[in-house]
């Protein structure tokens, strides 16, 4: 993704989330450009990745080109796994392990997936396939989703005047 701030008092927010399983690799590259004229501009970039196994991977490659001293620009990246404690907590409340993991994955993607169109891409070994949001969720740990799978949920709020 790329955002260019070319006018004063503009703002942008990029939020990306990825979920990888079965050796899936997620790479997020972004660029934020702030021109000399873009005083008082603000930009926030957030990249979160959830690894569902030990063989998947996530990389974040940010690029910031800031040519104005009066700009507030930030980037954050977080990579995590499903917490055994969270699964244990849900299982102690009568939820199966598979359903507990599905709930955690769904909760991770919830705020971004609400902003997406009805369909988004899932990349796998067999090529690009289209799945509706509800088709991938819930996550199945028993192998129902085959091959290398990386799901990227991407939401970008356009640059706008404040």
Quick one: pLDDT band at residue 70, thresholds 50, 70, 90?
A: very high
Residues 6+ apart with CB under 8 A from 161: 7, 9, 10
Beta-bridged to residue 43, according to DSSP, are: 12, 73
For the segment 75-113, what is each residue's pLDDT rounded down to a tens digit? 999 888 988 999 999 999 999 998 888 888 888 877 766
Eight-state DSSP code of residue 135: H
Q: What is the mean pLDDT of the chain?
A: 75
What's the chain's Rg over C-alpha atoms? 18
Which whole number is the average pLDDT over 103-125? Answer: 63
**pLDDT over 70 at 11, yes or no:** yes
Looking only at the bridges linking them, the beta strands covering 71-81 and 41-51 are: parallel
**pLDDT over 60 at 57, yes or no:** yes
Q: What is the pLDDT of residue 10?
A: 93
Residues 6+ apart with CB under 8 A from 134: none
> What is the secondary structure of 87-127 as a DSSP string?
HHHHHTTT--HHHHHHHHHHHHHHHHHTTS-SEEEEEETTE
Q: Name which of 57-61, 78-82, 153-157 the model is least confident about.
A: 153-157
**pLDDT over 50 at 139, yes or no:** no
Q: What is the pLDDT of residue 67?
A: 95
Which whole number is the average pLDDT over 15-44? Answer: 89
Distances (CA, A) of 34 to 56, 68, 71, 103: 34, 7, 8, 39
CA separation for the pair 35, 39 (Å, rounded): 8
């Amino acid at each position: 993704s790329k955002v260019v701030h070319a006018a004063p008092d503009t703002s942008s927010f990029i939020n990306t989330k990825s979920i990888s399983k079965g050796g899936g690799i997620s790479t997020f590259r972004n660029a934020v450009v702030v021109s000399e004229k873009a005083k008082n501009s603000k930009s926030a970039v957030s990249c979160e990745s959830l690894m569902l196994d030990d063989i998947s991977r996530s990389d974040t490659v940010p690029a910031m080109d800031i040519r104005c001293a009066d700009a507030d620009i930030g980037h954050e990246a977080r990579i995590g796994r499903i917490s055994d404690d969270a699964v244990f907590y849900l299982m102690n409340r009568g939820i199966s392990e598979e359903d507990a993991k599905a709930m955690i994955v769904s909760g991770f993607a919830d705020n971004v997936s609400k902003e997406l169109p009805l369909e988004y891409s899932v990349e796998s070994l067999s090529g690009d396939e289209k799945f509706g949001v509800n088709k991938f969720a819930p996550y199945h740990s028993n192998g129902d989703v085959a091959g290398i799978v990386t799901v990227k949920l991407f939401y970008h709020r356009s640059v706008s005047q404040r």
